Chains A and B, each alone.
Chain A
Amino acid sequence: MADPMAAISAAITMAGTGIATAWAEKVVGGATVGAMAEKPELFGRGLILMVLPETIIVFGLVVALQLLAKVA
């Protein structure tokens, strides 16, 4: 590893965005399941809202890969 700081940065990026995604999905998912219990046809819309925060960790992944590419 040429630059341990870059590797640590990548790890922090993944951890941070992972936690952020989990937190956001927890909030949305709970509400979605509640709404679906009343109206099952909301599944489609619910799933969309539920998975939207996943984009956060995908961005995290892109940034982490960029950082690691710098290291290599």
Chain B
Amino acid sequence: MLRPEPMTRALIVGPREKLESTIEGLHAMQLLHVMDHHGEDETFGIGKPLAQASELSDSLVKIRSMMSILAVKAPPKEKAAIAVADLREKIRGLEINILEEDGTRKKIESLLADLGRRIEELRPFATLGLPLELYRDYESISVLVGRIPREPEIAALLPEAEVFRAEGIVAVFVRKEQAEAASDSLGKLGFSQLDIPKDRGDPKALLRQTEADEAKWTSRLLEVQGRLEKFRQRYAGFVVAAEEALEVEVEKAEAPLRFAVSDHSFVIDGWLPTSRFRELSSRLAPTGVHVEASPPPRGHDQEDPPVLLKNPKPARPFEFLIHLYSTPSYRELDPTVFLGIAFPFFFGFMVGDAGYGALFLVIGVIAFWKLPMDSVLRRLLLVVGMGGAWSFVLGLFVFGEAFGIPFHPAFGHEEELSWAMLGIDIPLEAIIHKTFAIADMIYFSILFAAIHLGFGYIFGFVNEAHHNRKHAIAKLGWFACLFGIFTMLTYILRWNEIAAWVWEVPLGWFPRAIEPLGISLFLGVPMPLLSFILILLGALLGLLESVIAPLEVASLLANVMSYTRLAGIGIGKAAIAGALNGQIFTSLLLTGDTLLFIMGILFLFLAQALVFLLGGISAGIQAVRLNYVEAFIKFYKGNGIPFRPFGKRTTQEV
């Protein structure tokens, strides 16, 4: 549960002619995480791909280009059955057709682009109406044609020029020596010059001709696209299935690149779960290759085995959150269960509402039944669902609140909106009224911080105990320091009922003596002597880890304070919900006006959706963060290699 699956190193040795059948066998079993051979050996170099590799890769490239031409993205519902042997012929036949159509399509598209440009070019001249040859070949006259936003003043501005006008277009014929001046004054009117087409004749007729051409080619393009669409409908299943089959074949054919191969033999080096070693050797040994096991190396200089997490079923959805941070190394405790307990509780505490909790729970249950097993979304929603379960329980029995409305108003705040006020009497009393019992919420946050971080240090101690005694003792020191900080805060906050209870009952044994020298008073707070000693002890033992450890006491205190975000988000969410609900109920729903009532229902729905989403997102992020940042830093290193057995296809999802 706290350790990953134990691994055994397997060496598979055999004569070279057995290589292909061994690859087939390994690929089908999906058991062995192959360690790549780097060819540092004189006798054993890196293997060469199997003979069919280049042909297969070639087919794979072709099929991928077809996929992109046909724009096949999602795998279709039914995939065609594929026989790799006759794949090549089929791909070649299909390729000729598809590539030809695609070539035609591209040609027509570029032709259409040209025609489009020409139409744009001719259109202004068609509106002016002058034959195109009249615009050029003058000895003493310059012609300026262009678009102009304002035209009325032109004739007055250029008295010696001849001006032809159409909508937004002018053609100005002017003596060559005046051309520059004319161009300047036109420029002031926002004139932008156009190139004169090289053709001769009536621009209107030319334009009509070009437009007819464009229409003709557009219909041709549609025909080609229609044919490609038919190809797509007919062959999408085949193309996707062929791509998958070829990927597998290419992986197999190129596998020798990862093995050590000599002139006559091969060696495959890899890891597999110890419990399944027998399965591997019994399957491979009869084929004439030798399988040898060696236990994982103890030293740290050698390569660590890959990591396959082994957790009880309810904790498994949390594994993706661990991999997201970093895969645990083979030699440290797997924090999945740690996260799997803390995350949902923190989430539930922050949301702390029976209504929203029930909704999150329902979403989780739907995901459990409806979504595919290997989908990341399913795992995410399951995690949220478990948080929802805590939220439901805490909302019902501790916070007495559903959909941001308390079951009963808090004492002294009878005017506040509550379910009782709406005529629904729920026989459960809130133990903590979130919005008014801020001190309670903060003290609870500190209590959870102490428990959460405390377990973090215990994990850290176990991790370090095996390879660095000094660091392990330092972890114990930090544990003592954390306890010191916790007792100090409890002592300071004991004016609060819950802190007082903790101080009197579970901490009843704790020596009451106050630190006599007044050093702690100098820091601003009088604290119990033992707390002071524990904090000092932690700082001193921390020196075993690093020389700046004493400064880290402050950062540990900051870590503990950081948990007050549990209270902050909880109260904040309740306050937003309370404010929105209060406004909507008093000024819309309870006014007695039908129109306002309908508007109120609409607003109420929107407000509830907002609080639900906002609460879910912020509670989720903060709960993850408390684990990733505050807790994991205390004990978790990660950087393990995830176990990826040869032959297992990874589903690529976002």
Contacts and interface: CB of A to CB of B under 8 A. Distances in A.
A12 interface: no
Nearest to A62: B564
Contacts of B438: 65, 68-69
B628 A58 contact: no
A58 B638 contact: no
Contacts of B625: 47, 51, 54
Interface in A2-50: 41, 43-45, 47-48
B579 interface: no
Contacts of B1: none
A62 to B, nearest CB: 5
Nearest to A45: B326
A43 B323 CA distance: 10
Most buried by B among A44, A47, A48, A69: A44
A69 B439 contact: yes
A66 to B, nearest CB: 10
A10 to B, nearest CB: 12
B562 interface: yes
Contacts of B324: 43-44
B317 to A, nearest CB: 18
Contacts of B3: none
B604 interface: no
A44 B565 contact: no
Nearest to B441: A65
Contacts of A54: 565, 625
Contact of A48 (B561, B564, B568, B629): B629
B598 interface: no
Contacts of B628: 44, 47-48, 51
B315 interface: no
Given A44-B325, A51-B625, A54-B625, A62 B638 contact: no
Contact residues on A (Cβ < 8 Å of other chain), bracket: 10 to 19
B558 interface: yes
Interface string B550-579: 000000001001101100100000000000
B564 A51 contact: no
Contact of A58 (B439, B568, B621): B568
B442 interface: yes
Interface in B307-337: 324-326
Contacts of A65: 438, 442
B561 A58 contact: yes
A43 B327 CA distance: 12
Given A44-B638, A58-B562, A51 B629 contact: yes
B496 to A, nearest CB: 11
Interface in B369-419: none
Contacts of A52: 629
Contacts of B624: 47
Given A47-B628, A51-B629, A65-B438, A58 B564 contact: yes
Nearest to A64: B568
Nearest to B568: A61
Most buried by B among A43, A54, A55: A55
Contacts of A68: 438
Nearest to B436: A72
A51 B638 CA distance: 19
A62 B568 CA distance: 8
A52 B633 CA distance: 12
Contacts of B565: 54, 58, 61
A45 to B, nearest CB: 8
A25 B439 CA distance: 29
A61 B572 CA distance: 11
B326 A55 contact: no
A44 B326 contact: yes
Interface in B564-605: 564-565, 568
B439 A55 contact: no
A61 B629 contact: no
Nearest to A68: B438
B96 to A, nearest CB: 39
A41 B641 CA distance: 12
Contacts of A55: 558, 561-562
B401 to A, nearest CB: 20
Contacts of A59: 558, 561
Nearest to A42: B326
Contacts of B564: 58, 61-62
B587 to A, nearest CB: 24
A19 B92 CA distance: 62
Contacts of A44: 324-326, 628, 638
Contacts of A62: 442, 561, 564
A32 to B, nearest CB: 13
A51 B623 CA distance: 12
A47 to B, nearest CB: 6
A58 B628 CA distance: 17
B640 to A, nearest CB: 12
A51 B633 CA distance: 14
B406 to A, nearest CB: 19
A55 B564 CA distance: 10
Interface string B431-447: 00000001100100000
Interface string B352-363: 000000000000
A13 to B, nearest CB: 13
Contacts of B558: 55, 59
Contacts of A45: 326
Interface string B628-646: 1100010000100000000
11 contacts: A41-B326, A43-B325, A47-B624, A48-B633, A54-B625, A55-B561, A55-B562, A58-B562, A58-B564, A59-B558, A59-B561
Given A41-B326, A51-B628, 8 more contacts: A43-B325, A44-B638, A47-B325, A51-B621, A54-B565, A58-B562, A61-B564, A61-B568
7 A-B pairs with the lowest CB-CB distances in the bound complex, closest first: A44-B325, A61-B568, A51-B625, A44-B326, A58-B565, A55-B562, A48-B629
